[in-house]
Amino acid sequence: MKTPWWFLTKNPVAILLVPVSWVYFLIGRIVFLFRKIKPIKSKRKIICVGNILAGGVGKTPVVRTIASRIGAVVVMRGYKKGKNNGDVGDEAAMLARAGLVVHVGDRKSNIVLLNKQKDKTPIVMDDGLQNPTIKKDIKILVFDQSIGFGNGFMLPAGPLRVPKKFTKDADAIILIKNKRVKKNFDLPVGIPVFNAENSTISPYDDNEKLVAFAGIGYPKKFFDSLKNVVAKFGFPDHYQYTNDDLQKLIVLANKKNARLITTEKDWVRLSPQMQDVIKYAKLETVIENRFWDWLKERM
C-alpha cells in the first residue's frame, strides 16, 4: 500500500475518517483481548522492536543493528513474500544478507521451536508489539523524528495503530534523528529515550546523476538522503516490480545519462538479472552507547 497523502497533516480527509478510525480501533481491541487469554512465556529473553505507526519509521534497520550486536536470532512475520526474496519477504531477506538467522512465519510457533534449543541467546522480535499472544521481556519503540506521530490520528485517518498514550507501555524508545523535526512531537516523560542516526551510503560518487526509486513507507526519506537526484519515483510499500516498470526506469536513466539507485529493501525484491543492473544505497543505523549499557542491564 502506498502511504496515504493525508497521514502526515491534519486535513479534511483525515478528519472525516476519524470516526472510522475509532470503530477500527475498538474492533481491534476486542480481538486483542480474546488473543490475550493464553500468552506464551519464552525461556529465552524476547526483545520486541516495534512501532505504533503503520511502517516507514526505520524499524528493521534497528532490528538488524540490535540483533547483530548481541548475536540474537530474529523472528518476524515475513510480509509480502515473493519469488525474488526466497519467499520470506524483503525485510527478512535483508536481515539474512547481514548474516542473521531469521525465522519467518507465525512468531508464536517459531518462538516455541526456538525454546526447544539449548541456545540461551535472546530472540529479537521484529514488530509484534500489538501481538498479545507472546510475553515480551523488553519492549522497544522506534520513532523517526521527521515523522513523529504523523497527523496524530489512528488508521485509516492517520498512521497510528493505537492512540499516542500507548507509547507509555514501552520500556525504551529509540529516536532516529533527522534534520527536520515534526511539530508537536512530544514523547512521554519517564521512558528512556536513546538517539540513533541513519547514514545512507551510495555506491556512486557525488557527481554521478541518479534516478532513484523506492517502494517503502515514506520514499521521500530515501530521496532526501541522496545527492544529485535528477528523477525520483515512489511506489507502494513492498511493491513487486514488474519487468515493464524496471525497463521504463532503465530507459529514463539512459536518457538522463544517470545511474539507477534504490534501497536495499527494494533491491532484494528484484530478479537476479536486475540486481546486476541496479545498485542500492546501504542504510546504516548507529545507536548511541547509552542504549547498549541500558540493554545489558535489562538483559
pLDDT at 249: 97
pLDDT at 85: 46
Domain 34-198+285-298 top-level CATH class: alpha beta
Instruction: Output the pLDDT for position 46.
Output: 97
For the segment 170-210, what is each residue's pLDDT rounded down to a tens digit? 999 999 998 888 988 989 899 999 999 999 999 999 999 99
pLDDT at 49 over 60: yes
Burial 259-293 (b: 16+ CB within 10 A, else e): bbbbbbbbbbbbeeebeeebbbbebebebeeebee
Q: Are strands 73-76 and 46-50 parallel, antiparallel or unpaired?
A: unpaired
Number of H helices, E strands in the chain: 9, 11
88 has pLDDT over 80: no
Give this prediction's pTM.
0.92
Q: Is the pLDDT of residue 81 over 60?
A: no
CB 281 within 8 A of CB 219: no
Q: Average pLDDT for residues 149-167, to the nearest whole number?
A: 95
Task: Report, as an integer, the average pLDDT of 18-40.
Answer: 92
Average pLDDT, the chain: 93
Cell match 476486542: residue? Answer: 30
Domain boundaries, the chain: 34-198+285-298, 200-284
Q: What is the pLDDT of residues 233-245, one digit of tens each?
A: 999 998 999 999 9
